[in-house]
Amino acid sequence: MSKTAFEAANKVMEPGPLSESNPSGTWKDFLTIAKLGIVFSNLITTFAGFFLAIKYNDAVFSDNIMTLILCILGAALVIAGGCCLNNYIDRDIDQHMERTIKRPTVTGRIPASQVLWVGIIVSALGTVLLAMTTLTAAVMGLIGLFVYVVVYTMWLKRTHSINTVVGGISGAVPPLIGWASIDANLHWVAWILFLIMFLWQPPHFLALAMKRCEDYRNAGIPMLPVVSGFGITKRQMIWYVAALIPVSLYLFDFGKIYLILASVLGIGWLVLALSGLKTKDDMKWARMMFIYSLNYLTIMFVAMILVNI
């Protein structure tokens, strides 16, 4: 990490111009900074990894209920803890964006010190729970946490437009956590799940970055649409969606129904991505890409489970 990156990381740890007098944080406020939407979406892929590991290791699902509970709770706590730490670090830039200006860390409803300690304690507890399944699961959780909090939030988000790509590593880890809780050796199928998640995230988050481009510009965050414009951003999204199709089809063991579904969803997304090159309404197109990406992820991972029951 460069000297400039270290300086940027240290700077975000300094208290911003926020009021922490008379804090009145509620459970709802703490759930807000834990970003439950992100937690739940990642648990879908965590469970998929766990479920598929059961099948590929000829294990019995009912014999591994306690492992499942430890895995899901552990993953949820690590992800929630990472989100809390993200809120703590980003409180200086969140106050410049409409989407985040009402977060409890910005309004001062929760003292920054509480957010920091909650993030640390919750992440540590989640890591311990994952370690009670396998050490590999705990290591995967820590890797995801480190990339999200240190590499992405503290460094690249503030310094380079490649932040979305590198940060995608953390979002691609949950299937590995789920798989590792059953099989510490991580079968090749687990790594395909990782690749699917890794390739899915850039077009998903770049669509969001386009929608919130002015927010990011005002906050001084070098997201790709801000520093390179919409044209380059659209072309980057096309490449990731195109690469995602053959990777998803590599799971040919899942059968014809899965292959047909993955093909239709992937080609449909690619057609939508290509249409962005000629669209006259970039914001409408970005919204469509964002919504499609959410549906793609949910349908694909639910299908992976269903076709393997």
- Indicate the domain borders of the chain: 25-306
Confidence of residue 165 (pLDDT cuts 50, 70, 90): very high
Quote the pLDDT of residue 233.
Answer: 98
Quote the pLDDT of residue 30.
Answer: 85
Q: What are the pLDDT digits (tens) for 54-71?
A: 999 999 999 999 999 999
Confidence of residue 26 (pLDDT cuts 50, 70, 90): confident
Quote the pLDDT of residue 24.
Answer: 55
Spatial CA neighbour of 223 closest among 142, 173, 280, 286: 286
Q: What are the tokens at 43?
A: 């648990």
pLDDT reading at 3 higher than 50: no
Q: What are the pLDDT digits (tens) for 204-242?
A: 999 999 999 999 999 999 999 999 999 999 999 999 999
pTM: 0.90
Confidence of residue 25 (pLDDT cuts 50, 70, 90): low
d(CA 275, CA 253): 32
Q: Which conformational region is residue 35 in: left (phi greater than 0), alpha (psi within -120 to 50 degrees), or beta?
A: left
Lowest mean pLDDT across 2-6, 88-92, 179-183, 201-205: 2-6
Give rounded-to-5 percent helix, strand, coil for the chain. Answer: 80, 0, 20
In 58-134, alpha helices (H): 65-89, 91-94, 104-107, 112-131
Token look-up 């979305």 returns: 164
pLDDT reading at 28 higher than 90: no
Mean pLDDT of the chain, nearest integer: 92
Quote the pLDDT of residue 46.
Answer: 98
Q: What are the tokens at 112?
A: 């920054």
Lowest mean pLDDT across 25-29, 81-85, 136-140, 273-277: 25-29
Class of domain 25-306: mainly alpha
pLDDT reading at 112 higher than 50: yes
d(CA 208, CA 290): 6
The CA distances from residue 265 to 271, 274, 298, 308, in Å, are 10, 14, 11, 19
Quote the pLDDT of residue 117.
Answer: 96
